[in-house]
Structure 1
Amino acid sequence: MKSFDSGRAVPTLQQMGPQPVYQDDNARPHRAREVNDFLQQSGVNRMEWPACSPDLNPIENLWKLDRKVRSNHPPPRDVQHLYQMLQAEWQALPQRIFTTLVNSMSLTRCVECQNSQGGYTHY
């Protein structure tokens, strides 16, 4: 298993302010002992979140950014270039997209997800 890269995580967490909250999808790499120890030592709170729950995560609707960057010609030269291209696409998104995504997270959606107990929802 690849080692957890705290060299990249620390600056990102510091940009989030004094009490950052970490949300993940409960995938094994995100729950590794090394990651848990790092988050605890860094004073980062972990948000309780059900596994496999894209219905509760509005960012899932922005995967088209990845597809858009992958379709660029020429493709990214390296990871740094990919990061720059993704940042440029992110910055170009109109604010209304974010507002729409956040507003889509209604109480009805949350209740339906809870009632489905991890099963299918229409979202």
Structure 2
Amino acid sequence: MINRFGSDGRKWVWKQKGQPLLDREVEGTVKYGSGKIMVWGCMSWDGVGRMVEVEGKMNAQQYVDILTCGYLPSLEDWGVSVEKSIFQQDNDPKHTSKLVQKWLDDQGIEVLDWPAQSQDLNPIEHLWEHLKRQLNKWETAPKGVFELWDRASVEWKGIDAKVCQNLVESLPRRIEAVIKAKGGHTKY
């Protein structure tokens, strides 16, 4: 999810008891019209693939539609056949639903086995953070969700393949860190 303004999480400030908040420590909020977009995207060694808007709350059918108009065309863009690709996704229930599994099987898409709750290992999660950092460099906030989408599209398409390659190459280090932490949290 990409927010038009600010963070989608809490922010903390440490203060001494009785000490007032400073203006720089407070982030304003917007009650109406702030907006956010939800997007799906993919990446490979060759760079980013298509970015697709997620409309409302995604279900298994919308995920199949997204894979159809996002993943398959991305493979074509990269010049990679389905047979030579291995698809990685998390274990979200809609991703592992019978409908999605049947679609993946029908397309001949091999899916990489992946542990649940392993965002620190997944390269795309780090790519989303990269995209958000790029969006934060804009001097002004977008005027609405359409402008936010336009900016996200520009920044997504501008991600150099080397960024994706660095994320893929960092995977052994991330796996090693998870093993060292015995499955616990890592710096990633």
TM-score scaled to structure 1, two decimals? 0.71
Shift of 1:108: 3.8
Higher strand proportion (structure 1 or 2): 2
Are 1:76 and 1:85, in contact at CA under 8 Å, matched by a contact in 2?
A: no
Higher helix proportion (structure 1 or 2): 1
Relative to structure 1, the CA distance from residue 99 to residue 34 in structure 2 (aligned partners, 3 Å threshold; closer, same or farther) is closer
Aligned to 2:156: 90
Distance, in Å, in 1 between the alignment partners of 2:67 and 2:162 is 29
Distance, in Å, in 2 between the alignment partners of 1:63 and 1:13 is 17
Distance, in Å, in 2 between the alignment partners of 1:9 and 1:93 is 21
Relative to structure 1, the CA distance from residue 95 to residue 41 in structure 2 (aligned partners, 3 Å threshold; closer, same or farther) is closer
**Unpaired runs of at least 5, structure 1:** none
Shift of 1:101: 2.5
**Does 1:73 pair with 2:73?**
no
Distance, in Å, in 2 between the alignment partners of 1:77 and 1:99 is 30
* Rg larger for: 2
Task: Write the deviation string for residues 8-30 of structure 1: whole angstroms up to 9, x where unpaired.
Answer: 42243433123242211101111
Distance, in Å, in 1 between the alignment partners of 2:182 and 2:116 is 11
| Percent pairwise identity | 27
Distance, in Å, in 2 between the alignment partners of 1:49 and 1:2 is 20
Distance, in Å, in 2 between the alignment partners of 1:51 and 1:4 is 21
Distance, in Å, in 1 between the alignment partners of 2:173 and 2:66 is 37
TM-score scaled to structure 2, two decimals? 0.50
Relative to structure 1, the CA distance from residue 33 to residue 116 in structure 2 (aligned partners, 3 Å threshold; closer, same or farther) is farther
Distance, in Å, in 1 between the alignment partners of 2:82 and 2:169 is 26
Aligned to 2:61: 4
Shift of 1:95: 4.5
Distance, in Å, in 1 between the alignment partners of 2:170 and 2:154 is 25
Distance, in Å, in 2 between the alignment partners of 1:96 and 1:22 is 20
1:14 aligned partner, one-letter code: L
